[in-house]
């Protein structure tokens, strides 16, 4: 499955949040959405990315943007991750990777010669109507949150 193209409509979905409550992408319309897909809770890169998004949350909120993280982790894993790092944004559970497949981020990975399927760190920025403004393929955990903020500030200017 290929990544979704910029300027295309992001497919709607409904996934459970950390408390098991269903969240639909369409319910977030009216705000820009930073939809970031990451491999696993509590791993070094994913923690760095989540904490950096948390640090920038207030600035992103002022730009009418909402952060939504998605991984294949369970609600209980997300609850622990949110509590441990005081994350102020939504984490959604895509345990069967259906949404990750629809967004083209569930891909074959090669780690030290071992081939497996998994989540490729990817961020989509959506406009208020759910259209994809920007795609960050193979996003860098350390710099992706700042890249998102910079882009949204430029769009606001």
Is 1 domain-assigned?
A: no
Is 9 domain-assigned?
A: no
Query: Which pTM was predicted?
Result: 0.95
Assign residue 80 the CATH number of its domain: 3.40.30.10
Calculate mean pLDDT across residues 143-148: 97
> What is the number of structural domains in the chain?
1
Conformational region of residue 18, where left means phi above 0, alpha means psi within -120 to 50, and beta covers everything else:
alpha
Is 134 domain-assigned?
A: yes
Structure token digits, residue 142: 């350390």
Does 46 qualify as catalytic in the annotation?
A: yes
CA distance 15 to 18: 10
Is 7 domain-assigned?
A: no
The answer to whether 104 and 1 have CB atoms below 8 angstroms apart is yes
- What ranges make up the beta strands (E) of the chain? 14-16, 22-24, 32-37, 65-71, 90-93, 106-111, 114-119, 122-126, 132-136
pLDDT in tens, 36-87: 999 999 999 999 999 999 999 999 999 999 999 999 999 999 999 999 999 9
Q: Which domain holds residue 24?
A: 14-156
């Amino acid at each position: 499955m290929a990544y979704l193209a910029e300027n295309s409509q992001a497919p709607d979905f409904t996934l459970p949040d950390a408390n098991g409550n269903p969240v639909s992408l369409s319910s977030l319309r009216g705000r820009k959405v930073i939809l970031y897909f990451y491999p696993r809770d509590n791993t070094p890169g994913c923690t760095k990315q989540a904490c950096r998004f948390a640090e920038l949350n207030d600035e992103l909120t002022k730009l009418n943007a909402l952060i939504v993280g998605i991984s294949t982790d369970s609600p209980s894993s997300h609850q622990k991750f949110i509590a441990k790092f005081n994350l102020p944004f939504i984490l959604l559970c895509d345990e069967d990777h259906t949404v990750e497949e629809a967004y083209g981020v569930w891909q074959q990975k090669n780690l030290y010669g071992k081939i497996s399927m998994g989540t490729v760190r990817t961020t989509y920025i959506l406009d208020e109507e759910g259209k994809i403004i920007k795609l960050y393929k193979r996003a860098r955990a350390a710099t992706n949150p700042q890249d998102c903020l910079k882009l949204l500030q430029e769009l606001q200017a």
